[in-house]
Structure 1
Amino acid sequence: MKTFYILDDPGRDKHFHLYLLSGLRKAGFEPLVVYFCGDPKSYLHQQGIPTHSLHLTPRTYKNFNPWPVLKMASLIKERQPAILHVQRHRPLVYTALALKILRRKIPLLYTIRLSRLVRTPARRLAFSFIKKQVSYVIAVSRGAADDFRKRTGFPDERLIVIPNGIDPEPYQLSLPRAEARERFSLPEGFLFGMVARFRKAKDHLGLLEAFARALPQMPEAFLVLAGDGPLEDTIRRRVRELQLADRVIFTGRLSPQEVPYLLRTLDVFVHPTFREGMPAAVLEAMAAGLPIIATEAEGIVDIFETERSFGKLLPCGDRDALASALSFFYSLPQERLREMGEEARKRLEEGFTREQMVARNVDLYRRALHEGENP
């Protein structure tokens, strides 16, 4: 059964997309990834997923123009998909308008990953115009779902929470920690680590401040930062200003294949973000059996809603609380850290695996198709 999985460009390719698309194929669907812009020979294409691009220029795509609507309508008419699954706001608007032009009733699913997606009057107006075309909205966290409901009035029975999920197996390495550290030339001692793009929302600067405050109580502690991004120079400069050059280690951007090995080097994973959907980085660290220090950002709150003790959840931007958490985890015996890491693995397996994410989406696809056949 043909389906469209619609993204704005290949730069939005993520593991979550590959997991879901592979699962849909196993369930008997035939997904085609449709990009509005960019080269269709993307990461997903390289993994064997069929892709197609409308080859719009970024300017045509971003400045509202009827051409994206007409091209999408033409593709729908040509390929005759049984279901449409859209990621992000602008592709949703264009796709819904294409359905209006065609006067076709095809199930349209829309995945939201963050809150405040319809924060502006223009976005709310656009969504109100296409609202009837949307069969279901899939939110990756309860926070995103609640925000969307309040801003749009979208009905509860059509707003479904399906958390992101990952494959835990690649992160469960038997490699000794010492060997993993040799692989990255990392020192002995207690390693805190973070894997994230260097962007304001991730609050690396707050983490550096907290680490500097806690360091007098952590004589053998180091902080490992993996990633790159627009704030890298600013963060490196702040490391020098705080005189942390001998305690903060930059690994650069890692390939997905390298991340499990880096996680194996760490004692505790830290993720002090301001805004988050359902972060792969935290799920991957849990799969690797690491205790988690994180902040109360949307999807992370969902992860921590359990009686299992596998880390600490802090207010966003609270550097004093973060410093206290760092020193607290540093003081714990290794056996206790291992116990918390095992609890993190169990929590992941309770609701955040690839299989669970795929099964919930497949069920929703089938429900939407059944409703379309029996209106």
Structure 2
Amino acid sequence: MRILMVTNSYAPYVGGIEKSIQSFAQYFRAKGHSVLVIAPKSDKPVEDEQDVMRVSAINNFNDTNFPVTIPLPGEIRSRIKDFKPDIVHSHFPFIIGSTALRIAAAREIPLVFTYHTMYERYIHYINADSERVKRFVRSVTKGYSNLCDKIIAPSRAVKNMLLNRGVKTPIVVIPSGIEVQQFKTGRGQELRESCGLPRDSFLIGHIGRFAPEKNLDFLLSSVIKVLKANSNSRFLAVGDGPQKSELEKKVREEGVSDRVVFTGMLSGQKLYDAYDAIDVFAFSSKTETQGMVLAEAMASGTPVVALNAPGVDDILEDGKNGLMVQNENADSFAGVISEFKELPDTEKNDMRKNAEKTAEKFSIDACSDAVLQQYTELCSNRKDALTEKHQDSWQNSMELIKAEWEIFRNYVSAAGMMFYSRRSKGQFKE
């Protein structure tokens, strides 16, 4: 099978979506399939890549790490013609997502879309954080989803959200997947020693992007309460992002700098070491579609304490592989971390074993096989349907025109909803 993946975010940026796409592509190639990834050009050095086509993009858009891809038809057309994809998998619904739709329509092949992110929760990065813009984004993503042949939702929460918004395209739940075995190779004591963390300390950890949508100010407030209540507790914060200096300042002001370590971004073996070093993984984000860092922590045998939020309950089973915090209250969160700390060793060991079992469900092998099954079924169904058609350039042109019209109509509809909502609230006068 010849698989075309289209994404707005890719290496060298390191995040859940990027790692997921790379892992799936590697697995598909190992199974004998051909994969071409269309991704934005980067202004940073990129390692030698296998079958990745870089297209025009505005990097560091609005002083963020995120690019805005602006694919030019001419730079894509000849490569697609040579590659001859059997299926297109889109990982982003805007701009380059429309390119994926055009390619699928022109070649009359299936289009799959993975709904990775609650996009409306990230609009503060474009200085447009308003309910009107959120409605516009929700409308565009709903319309885009309904133009695809299959939607992959990374969690039950995302599937239910899409159904409630009126998405009619068939939806299947498949997590992004992780390399489970790699997370079993951690050398936690080595990392503790390198960071000056006592071997016998109770180490709370968090790994991820330091950004407002991750609810880290709340998390840090909760952790600081634990640190102040127990002198043997420490906190390991792994990652980087726009909130890092703010979080470091808070640690200094609260007088716990000597018991908090910020490592910066870690990858490869050092990342596995970090997961293995911590006793409990603390997580308070409310914007995750699946929270793959929870699966990574569990693959390392590390139980989780997390705020009850969408995407979390697909992984965390309260009392089995970690503990769930029901209320967004710093005292409550700190209390649950302390509750875990005081558990008997037998209960902690049971949680560690259960965490490892949970992680197996999120292995890249299992998730990739599930995606391949969807590809195979879609291609088979599309092939049967096309045998009834006479394919020629006229037919392909009509399909492309139809796709362009649907893209245009989707954006007009979304803009209309935003305009109507403003009128209905009296923000426009005749």
2:243 aligned to which of 227, 231, 240: 231
- The answer to whether the Cα contact below 8 Å between 2:145 and 2:151 also exists between their aligned partners in 1 is no
CA deviations over 1:17-43 (Å, ceiling 9, x no partner): 222112211333200011244479845
- Please name the residue that 2:284 is paired with: 272
How far, CA to CA, are the matches of 1:128 and 1:190 in structure 2? 45
User: Is the contact between residue 7 and residue 97 of structure 2 (CA under 8 Å) also seen in structure 1?
Assistant: no
For 1:172, the aligned partner's letter is K
Contact 2:186 2:269 in 1 (8 A): no
Q: Supply the distance in 2 between the matched residues of 1:343 and 1:322 (Cα, whole angstroms).
A: 22
Equivalent position to 1:365, from 375, 397, 404: 375
2:197 paired residue among 183, 186, 206: 186
2:334 to 317, 320, 323: 323
Pick the aligned partner of 1:140 from 154, 160, 163.
Answer: 154
Taking the aligned partners of 1:261 and 1:219, their CA distance within structure 2 comes to: 24
Pairing 1:205–2:217 present: yes
The correspondence of residues 253-268 of structure 1 with structure 2, limited to 5 A, is 253-268=265-280
Aligned to 1:111: 114
Question: Structure 1 219/54 Cα, relative in aligned 2: closer, same or farther at 3 Å?
Answer: closer
> Alpha carbons of 1:325 and 1:57: their partners in 2 closer, same or farther (altered >3 Å)?
closer
Instruction: Tell me by how many angstroms 1:10 deviates.
Output: 2.9
Q: How many Å separate the matches in 2 of 1:137 and 1:346?
A: 27
Map of 1:329-344 to 2, 5 A cutoff? Answer: 329-344=340-355
From 272, 297, 300, the counterpart of 1:288: 300
Cα distance between partner residues in 2 of 1:64 and 1:56: 4
Check if 1:25 corresponds to 2:29: yes
Distance in 1, Cα, partners of 2:237 & 2:114: 30
Gaps of 5+ in 2: 122-132, 386-430
Deviation (angstroms), 1:368: 0.9
Secondary structure in 1 aligned to 2:242? coil
**Distance in 2, Cα, partners of 1:34 & 1:293:** 37
Q: Over aligned residue pairs, what C-alpha RMSD do you find?
A: 2.9
Deviations 1:193-249, CA, capped at 9 Å, x for gaps: 111111112222212211232345423111111111111111011111211112211
What are the superposed Cα offsets for residues 241-272 of structure 1, whole Å, 9 maximum, x if unpaired?
21111221112221232111112221111111
Give 2:344's aligned amino acid: P
What displacement does 1:367 show? Answer: 0.7
Q: Could you tell me whether the CA contact under 8 Å between 2:235 and 2:261 is conserved in 1?
A: yes
Identify if the C-alpha distance between structure 1 residues 116 and 174 changes in structure 2 by more than 3 Å, giving closer, same or farther.
closer
CA distance in structure 2 between the partners assigned to 1:33 and 1:244 by the alignment: 45
Hey, what's the Cα distance between the residues in 1 that align with 2:145 and 2:241?
36
Instruction: Provide TM-score, normalisation by structure 1.
Output: 0.86
Q: CA deviation at 1:312?
A: 1.0
1:374 aligned partner: 384
Is the 1:34–1:52 contact (alpha carbons within 8 Å) kept by the matching residues of 2?
yes
Aligned to 1:165: 177
Partner residue of 2:100 out of 76, 91, 95: 95
Report the Cα distance in structure 1 between the residues aligned to 2:294 and 2:41, rounded to whole angstroms.
30
**Matched position secondary structure for 1:300:** coil
Q: 1:312 aligns with which of 313, 323, 332?
A: 323
- Percentage of identical aligned residues: 24
Contact 1:308 1:343 in 2 (8 A): no
Work out whether residues 117 and 148 of structure 1, in 8 Å CA contact, stay in contact via their aligned partners in 2.
no
CA distance in structure 2 between the partners assigned to 1:292 and 1:242 by the alignment: 25
Q: Which AA in structure 2 matches 1:281?
A: V
CA 16–125 in structure 1, closer or farther in 2 if over 3 Å, else same: closer
Q: Which structure has the greater CA radius of gyration?
A: 2
Cα shift readout 1:157-204 (whole Å, capped 9, x = no counterpart)? x111101221222222375x5444223332231111111111112222
Q: Kindly tell me the number of residue pairs found equivalent between the two proteins.
A: 363
CA distance in 1, matches of 2:57, 2:184: 42
TM-score of the aligned structures, taking structure 2 as reference length: 0.76
Q: Which residue of 2 aligns with 1:52?
A: 53
2:391 corresponds to: none
Note closer, same or farther for the CA distance 1:6–1:81 as it changes in structure 2 (3 Å cut). same
